[in-house]
Amino acid sequence: MRLDGKTAIVTGAGSGFGAGIARKFAAEGAHVIVADINSDAASSIAREISGTPCTVDVANRASVQAMIDLTLQRHSQIDIVINNAGVTHLPAPMDTISEDDFDRVFAVNCKSVYLIAQAVIPHMKANKSGNILNVASTAGVSPRPNLSWYNASKGWMNTATKSMAVELAPFGIRVNALNPVAGETPLLASFMGEDTPERRAQFLSTIPIGRFSTPEDMGNAACYLCSDEASMITGVCMEVDGGRCI
């Protein structure tokens, strides 16, 4: 019960890594706001873990504010925010990616962190405590060809994490990030371009431990970084990647 009594918002919690984080946090005693743009997915995970479903578009200011308002109405406090929602563009040469795809990637992966920070940081400052965890990617640490703008968005998240951590530390707010390698999530096929045994084998050959990141891996790492056990850790971009970035 390392998160007993804490309230946590997890975006993109309807599937994949976000669902794994939501499940782990609930098991450790947190009240979880299961936030996702897919209402049915959010409701399904919320029912499973006795959490609160919330439909949100993390790239929209009004939608983000509604998520914060709902959380405060239900629980009166926000202790943890997991910025997990993310999208990618299909693998292709950087000069062929459409402007719409570029804008979507940066809106969901980067602008969302900005909007959520503006909405939740005043509350955390007032309480002189809080945890923000940004889910980035090994793509932002060791980029692959043909995912250039996705890589850049995740590199942005890592830099934002360190900057946020330095600025917010005097207010008792810790900010960290996770950098997972590709995992069994809805985005896997998009990363690979096609989901075939050959493409999976090619990806797995770059991971020394020999497997993808799992939602459980992410839940365990997120739980540690957001628990009091990590009270001296801020500004860390932890690689949960089986050695991929070595």
Burial 206-219 (b: 16+ CB within 10 A, else e): bbeeeebbbbebbb
- Beta strand residue intervals within 124-201, DSSP E: 130-135, 173-180
Task: Count CB atoms within 10 A of the CB of residue 98.
Answer: 10
13 is written with which tokens?
């919690």
Active site residue 224: no
Buried b (16+ CB within 10 A) or exposed e, 84-94: bbbbbbbbeee
Active-site residue among 25, 149, 150, 212? Answer: 150
CA distance linking residue 25 with residue 11, whole number of Å = 13
Known catalytic residues are 150
